[in-house]
Amino acid sequence: MTSPLRLGLFTRLLDETSPGERYRNARDQIVRSEQLGYDSAWVAQHHFHALEGGLPAPAVFLASVAALTSRIRLGFGVITLPLEHPLRVAEDLAVLDEISGRRVEVGFGTGGTPSSFRAFGFDAADRRTIYADHLKVVTDAWAGLDLGDPENQLYPPAPTLLERRWEATFSAEGAARIGANGSGLMLSRSQPRPEGAPNARIWEIQEPIVDAYLDALPDGVAPRIAASRTVFVADDEATARREADRGLRTVAVRGGLWGLDPDGPVEDLIARSDTVTGDPEQVAAQLAQDTILERATDLLVQVHSVDPVHELVLRSLELLAHDVSPLLPRLALRPTLEVSR
């Protein structure tokens, strides 16, 4: 794949501050990313659990961002579709796409927190069945089909949203389904390690997922592969290591996907969490090893689970645009405004 690799910001809105400040910080990061030439900005939906994500209503938030930006694409990564009324999702995103100038990118996922499903009256064990049912409703609405009655069709019409639909998965089986749907493939910033391969690199685990997706794509449908990665760039290695040590040890204490040892060396925390961090030259060298980026169409960078303060996030975005991207031939940024270094 020789086309340019599009660069996107991904934010989980996890600042240790008030909800309002979280939203203002994320807004400022997206506006700054547009100025720096980033192609897209993505937010994740999470209900109830502030430590997992601070945004239960992403369409509301992105509508406010749309008014402050003109070019950057606005992505959902992802909407927990089983917990949403599918017709309301179809309508909300159709309106957002209209007012933003056709800038919406829509990622869907099955979700994972069982307690959230209980709050909405569902059993998490049924999430894949509910997801498939809801996805069909959204797809039919965007396709302009009758909705319950011949008099009912989606307004405003949004047929091109079908071409901007993405789905997330951890598995090759899920990737084959996504490819068969003609959707874009969203890859996680980290993957559960296969049994017997605790030190496998993320790109080694995700290669079979990409293969399954590409094999299942219908003829004539161009692949869309978004690789999410934890990337924190600092002016110097010492700052990067200090922030990684602080943030990843906090994650380790809470437990989770990687089983990090809170007392382990920072090098192990960085490696097992698939974190890319360092000064610009070090980050460029680490990204250059990632074979998934040779086939991806989009690189989505997020600072979670390092989670530095807002000012360091902005600096990381600037360093990535100014100093890292020139070292990676496929990254071609298009600054919206002349910005100072």
300-319 pLDDT, tens digit each:
999 999 999 999 999 999 99
Sign of the CA dihedral running 116, 306, 250, 290: positive
Say if residue 168's pLDDT is above 80.
yes
Q: What is the mean pLDDT of residues 101-129?
A: 94
Say if residue 14's pLDDT is above 50.
yes
Say if residue 261's pLDDT is above 60.
yes
- Going by pLDDT thresholds of 50, 70 and 90, the confidence category of residue 337 is low
N residues, the chain? 341
Phi, psi (rounded to 5 degrees) for 263: -100, 5
The per-residue pLDDT for range 196-233, each reduced to its tens digit, is: 888 899 999 999 999 999 999 999 999 999 999 999 99
- Going by pLDDT thresholds of 50, 70 and 90, the confidence category of residue 193 is confident
Say if residue 340's pLDDT is above 70.
no
List the Cα angle 49/53/58 in 5-degree steps. Answer: 110
Residue 80's beta-bridge partner residues? 109
Higher-pLDDT residue of 341, 28: 28
- Going by pLDDT thresholds of 50, 70 and 90, the confidence category of residue 1 is very low
Task: Judge if pTM exceeds 0.85.
Answer: yes
Residue 257: predicted pLDDT: 60
Report how far residue 46's alpha carbon sits from residue 55's, in angstroms, rounded to the nearest whole number.
6
Residue 113: predicted pLDDT: 84
Residue 2: predicted pLDDT: 65
The CA-atom distances, in angstroms, between 20 and each of 17, 66, 180 are: 8, 18, 40
The per-residue pLDDT for range 20-57, each reduced to its tens digit, is: 999 999 999 999 999 999 999 999 999 998 888 889 99
Residue 256: predicted pLDDT: 65
Cβ(180)–Cβ(218) below 8 Å: yes
- Return mean pLDDT, the chain: 94
